[in-house]
Structure 1
Amino acid sequence: MFDWLVVGAGFAGSVLAERIASQRDERVLVIDKRPHVGGNAYDRYDEAGILIHQYGPHIFHTNSEAIFDYLSQFTRWRPYEHRVLAEVDGMLAPIPINLTTVNRLFGLALDSEGLARWLAERAEPRAEIRTSEDVVVSAIGRELYEKFFKGYTRKQWGVDPSELDKSVTARVPTRTNTDDRYFTDAYQYMPQHGYTRLFERMLAHPNIKVMLQTDFEEARKEIAFRRLIYTGPIDEFFDFRFGKLPYRSLQFRHATLDQSWLQPVAVVNYPQTQAYTRITEYKHLTGQRHEKTSITYEFPSDVGDPYYPVPRAENMALYKKYERLALVQPDVWFVGRLATYRYYNMDQVVGQALATFRRICQDIPVKKTPGLRPPVAAK
């Protein structure tokens, strides 16, 4: 008999398993259908000995000191500020769009004030901002929208930006200075020895048992447990009672090149050309030194494992039907991107899991004296 069954060994499930095991001294079984822990953040050494991210680049960034300190128990960190270039009109330019981007593409010599005026002249104000197209066109005009956002978004999501919720493109700001960092969070780091090692440390508690390549439907019939934490697709949990929720998937093509470097930054986007959306070169992320370099091409797809909930009004309405069922499930907690049908960054998933643990402790008092686990690594 386990006190808890946790479905999914990604951030949501692993954080909750660790907290329950270490702070409540209760027995936890973590299962995952994949042959590894870490969910989509899983990384591994390829045949060349280069550390790659199996499911595309995962960049840790947060403004939360509490989340950073929590994860610091399980890893040391490598400082890393993420930079992205987009190939536009045959040139590489920073994305998010900034002063350098506009000056380079249009052969200008604007300063910050000049760029603000230049963008304002091209902006097409909207009475109401509803879609991803509205967000961009109302802020920077149609020309930059066409160059950077329209083609990339259509590849990424399979629909036009005018058919997507405003949240998709609102995540990418426009800057009037030369700051070319993709993120501006206070804490920007990569796990020094990779994400997989972080997860292995997180789950290395005597109260936690991990079973991989394990199907939830089979496990729930064979294994005795008192309470359940579910991080998989919420529609699948309810046997698609109201129909399937749309998700966008990704296909990855990994390659190792017989050269030291391919590109000047970790990620280059391709909004105008190519079938893939971007190329990632991992040595930029990890700081690893190697005579060769390993890269990944990303191809968005409607087929494959669910990665991104598709943010459209009709999809959220469908999710709400499943959410109403979830809210009345006894002793079941739904946590994470797939279980709550929302796009979260890694730190947001960790924050959601920690908040869920606090609610669990409020609802279910601890009956035993918790065995507190000391930090296993310094910051």
Structure 2
Amino acid sequence: MRVERGRIRSGGRRERSRARRLAMFDFLIVGAGLSGCTLAERLANELQARVLVVEKRSHVGGNAYDAYDDNGVLVHKYGAHLFHTNDWEVYGYLSQFTEWRFYMHRVLTWVDGQLLPFPISLETLNQLYGLSLTTEEMEAFLARRRESREINNSEDMIISQVGRELYEKFFANYTLKQWGMPASELEPEVCARVPVRFNRDLHYFADRYQGMPKQGYTRMIERMLAHPNIKVLLNTDFEEIRHLIPYKSLIYTGPIDEYFHHKHGPLPYRSLRFEFETLDQEFFQPVCVVNYPNHFDYTRILEMKHATGQQCRATTIVREYPQAQGEPFYPVPARRNSELYRKYAAEAEGLTDVYFVGRLGQYRYLNMDQAVRAALDLFQRIRAQGR
């Protein structure tokens, strides 16, 4: 992998013509996150394609980027990234580039003056209400509180599972902070991602494969890009070079509406502001993530040392503040946004040799394993097409 940190500048017509004759890439990939880097690696290693990855940030890794702060603590610069999957192919693929540290993620949530296990489980209800329910009694407990309703949105989804009181305590305000709109305006799958457990399992995920790259995500992704056919341009906006660098096919992992210059109107995204604080103590909180649904402007506090297993004197915590403006992190899963996205998807279908992939390119909330899966599937498509 050859990395260039400067920007390509537009020269004269003769210089640009000479560049087109001398340089040719089979694929230009916009974005050096997991989707883009998976495709770069596959195309270079399997098809011997010449690949240029263009990244507007100063680093590879996308939102999974991690680095050591000034106090030597390995932090996730764009929020916690916890790898989990049931997809053996995805796990096996990434295992070529990293060893794994076994880690089972836990989340606590601050409700009614208590730190309670989340998602809602038998243990959560027993602590919250001072009970000693069994699994069968928990089912009966929730059955008395559930509301039978047609599932049109995330509010319907949760209230039909646990009732209004638990919805108000754990979900309503958190969802409003996170998405900037009530759960009643979000698609059902937003809150359907969070299970209800009728046992004492305190782990957040139930996937078969869980862990953290032993040397971090950035190191893993750098290994993915370590091929002589892969070139990387950092600090470079695609719009600045899209007509300067010749290539045969384009893979775009940025916001799909941005590619089309927002011709149908901008797609809404949610962003995050991160507030880092380093403390002269080993740990700040008992688990990696603590949610604050009903207090403060932030949604949660992260302490990555629990996940990375790093041993050092200091710890760094991160408070997450959702916001409407800023770097796009999450497509907003509301029905009207899906309808707008379909207009852009139709535009994309009419293009030749242009592929859209990833959370922003597909306007879908994808976990890391899903982003890698989408990239691997796209690679198989490209290979079948004989590109």
TM-score normalised by length of structure 2: 0.93
1:374 alignment counterpart: none
1:103 alignment counterpart: 126
- Structure 1 residues 116-137: Cα deviation after superposition (integer angstroms, max 9, x where no partner): 10001110110x1011100110
Q: CA deviation at 1:87?
A: 0.3
Q: CA deviation at 1:144?
A: 0.4
Q: Give the aligned residue type for 1:350.
A: V
Q: Alignment partner for residue 293 of structure 1, among 303, 310, 315?
A: 315
Is 1:63 aligned to 2:95, yes or no? no
2:187 alignment counterpart: 165
Q: Alignment partner for residue 338 of structure 1, among 353, 357, 360?
A: 360
Is 1:94 aligned to 2:114, yes or no? no
Q: Alignment partner for residue 124 of structure 1, among 130, 147, 150?
A: 147
SS for the counterpart of 2:242 is helix
Q: CA deviation at 1:222?
A: 1.4
Q: CA deviation at 1:361?
A: 0.6
- Structure 1 residues 266-286: Cα deviation after superposition (integer angstroms, max 9, x where no partner): 000001111100000011010
1:321 alignment counterpart: 343
CA distance in 1, matches of 2:36, 2:192: 28
Q: Alignment partner for residue 21 of structure 1, among 35, 39, 44?
A: 44
1:187 alignment counterpart: 209
CA distance in 2, matches of 1:190, 1:224: 38
SS for the counterpart of 2:243 is helix
CA distance in 2, matches of 1:262, 1:49: 16
Q: CA deviation at 1:93?
A: 0.3
CA distance in 1, matches of 2:224, 2:314: 31
SS for the counterpart of 1:205 is coil
1:348 alignment counterpart: 370
1:150 alignment counterpart: 172
1:34 alignment counterpart: 57
SS for the counterpart of 1:268 is strand
Q: CA deviation at 1:184?
A: 0.4
CA distance in 2, matches of 1:16, 1:170: 30
SS for the counterpart of 1:353 is helix
How well do the aligned residues superpose, as a CA RMSD in angstroms? 0.6
SS for the counterpart of 1:221 is coil
CA distance in 2, matches of 1:142, 1:56: 30
Q: Alignment partner for residue 240 of structure 2, among 213, 218, 225?
A: 218
Q: Alignment partner for residue 76 of structure 2, among 53, 57, 72?
A: 53
2:18 alignment counterpart: none
The sequence identity of aligned pairs, in percent, is: 58
1:376 alignment counterpart: none
* Structure 2 counterparts to residues 265-276 of structure 1, below 5 A: 265-276=287-298
CA distance in 2, matches of 1:28, 1:139: 48
Q: CA deviation at 1:176?
A: 1.1
CA distance in 2, matches of 1:304, 1:200: 26
CA distance in 1, matches of 2:215, 2:47: 29
Q: Give the aligned residue type for 1:73.
A: Q
- Structure 1 residues 131-156: Cα deviation after superposition (integer angstroms, max 9, x where no partner): 11001101111110000000100000
Q: Give the aligned residue type for 1:66.
A: E
Is 1:83 aligned to 2:106, yes or no? yes
Q: Give the aligned residue type for 1:290.
A: C
CA distance in 2, matches of 1:138, 1:282: 34
Is 1:237 aligned to 2:259, yes or no? yes
1:283 alignment counterpart: 305
SS for the counterpart of 2:144 is helix
Q: Give the aligned residue type for 1:144.
A: L
Q: CA deviation at 1:255?
A: 1.0
Q: CA deviation at 1:29?
A: 0.3
Matched length: 364
CA distance in 2, matches of 1:139, 1:218: 50
